[in-house]
A = this chain, B = another copy of it.
Amino acid sequence: MWHIYQFPLCPFSRKVRLLMAEKGIAYELQTARPWEGEDRFFAMNPAGRTPVVHETERAITLSDSRAICEYFEETVDRNPLISGTAQQRAEIRRLVAMFDENFYAAVTEPLLHERMKKRLVLRQSPDAKMLREAMKLAHDYLDYIDYLIDNRPWLAGATITLADFAAAAQISVADYLGGLDWSSHEQARAWYMWIKSRPSFRPLLSERMEVIQPPSHYAEVDA
């Protein structure tokens, strides 16, 4: 049995959980809070980041969310999510990187800092200017999703891939933290509804991060 060390609002853990659920790989959740700097967690992943996945039976520990996704893609044939020609696979990986790195740095990370870390760790109020800036940058990414969905059924092409789950993982955290304005993004909104309504997504939508509450539309699959 795989164990995933994560916290409910970690977008990279969400991406790994979505891929595992789509592939039918069972897992148990373990809570990790890398910002507390616990030695046991850093021993599993010197990079100090969630998620880490661990399988006790074979003593396998894996970290870095993209390395984990590639590992399960290589070892579990069911529901390939990094599939197609080499060029199609490059397009999937380009979009995964864009959401993992650019969207995270511009939107998810500032929102997590202002709305989660300041509340749970620093005991400060969020900075309204930082929140506005993150929401403005989120708007640009929703525009880009609108553009992709105007041209393709799914973000990377004809089928659902890891690109959709990487994007939806980041977006779900930003949405939980009230950082997204969906008005004027009809295509992105429709695409996100399709993803939200998948069985793999349901467990994420029902979880809560301690005292932090999502907006009312967050867990609705038709809103």
Chain A residues near B (Cβ < 8 Å)? 46-49, 60, 62-64, 66-68, 70-71, 74-75, 86-87, 89-91, 93-94, 97-98, 101-102, 144
Contacts and interface: CB of A to CB of B under 8 A. Distances in A.
A98 B47 CA distance: 6
B67 A93 contact: yes
Contacts of A63: 94
B66 A97 contact: yes
Contact of A75 (B64, B86, B97): B86
A97 B63 CA distance: 10
Nearest to A65: B97
Q: Is the interface of A mostly helix, strand, loop or mixed?
A: helix
A100 to B, nearest CB: 9
Nearest to A62: B90
A89 B74 contact: yes
A68 B90 CA distance: 7
Contacts of A90: 62, 67-68, 70-71
Contact of A71 (B47, B66, B89, B144): B89
Nearest to A105: B105
Contacts of A97: 47, 64, 66-67
B89 A46 contact: no
Nearest to A98: B47
B93 A46 contact: no
Contact of A60 (B62, B87, B144): B87
A2 to B, nearest CB: 13
B74 A93 contact: no
B64 A94 contact: yes
A74 to B, nearest CB: 5
A125 to B, nearest CB: 26
A78 B94 CA distance: 23
Contacts of A49: 102
A67 B94 contact: yes
